[in-house]
Chain A
């Protein structure tokens, strides 16, 4: 099965933020740990609201967290 075309750097961002655990991130953005795991493995594409909440936790913009696979830059 092909993965989602939306990729992300959530795992790297977690480690750069004091090695934040998946559970800590899920508590901060109001979702389950299962959702974070599936997001990190590109097995789930989040809603815009969840994408914004994740970006907000890391203090960056949505397009710094998520990217489209077809983008050249």
Chain B
């Protein structure tokens, strides 16, 4: 079904992600449109100031997305088997993964710890608590995409061990990326849902 390159799982992952996002977006926009009751409210809602956590999540998400795209391009350009044999390329990818981890630890983990201690705004705490469900969903989609790809691409011949690091590495990257994405989705959700 697929050729033996990294573009297969990337395509499946992107397709599944897009379907999930479209379905969720249609459901929410249908039920949670914001209808301001006055021009003053419309103005204030349109220019709602971002919270500190929201700004951190935007920065973390943007930087980590760029790093993730760079990693995927670097690995997919040569293929997983060739990537595994190229020590210099593996070192570059490892540095990019550590950079992503640094962004995660520096920008989101302190905010998560503050929320866990109860030192944060109560909406921030709820957003942080709900972000983990987005993380779990994104990781499941990633594993599912890899499973479909590896099963179909290597049916009957055995899955090469070179795919194990990219598999676990991609799940780790998605774990970090989905945390900031979950926070941003949480704010979007909270803005449309009046209950505390």
Contacts and interface: CB of A to CB of B under 8 A. Distances in A.
A41 B45 contact: yes
Contacts of B32: 1
A45 B195 contact: yes
Interface string A35-47: 1011001111111
A20 interface: no
A39 to B, nearest CB: 9
Q: How large is the interface on A (under 10, 10 to 19, 20 to 34, 35 or more residues)?
A: 20 to 34
Nearest to A40: B44
A31 interface: yes
A32 B191 CA distance: 14
27 contacts: A1-B31, A1-B34, A1-B35, A1-B192, A1-B194, A2-B194, A3-B37, A3-B194, A4-B195, A31-B121, A32-B52, A34-B50, A34-B123, A35-B121, A35-B122, A37-B44, A37-B49, A38-B123, A38-B190, A41-B37, A41-B41, A41-B44, A44-B194, A45-B194, A46-B122, A46-B196, A47-B122
Given A1-B31, A1-B32, A43-B191, A35 B44 contact: no
A33 interface: yes
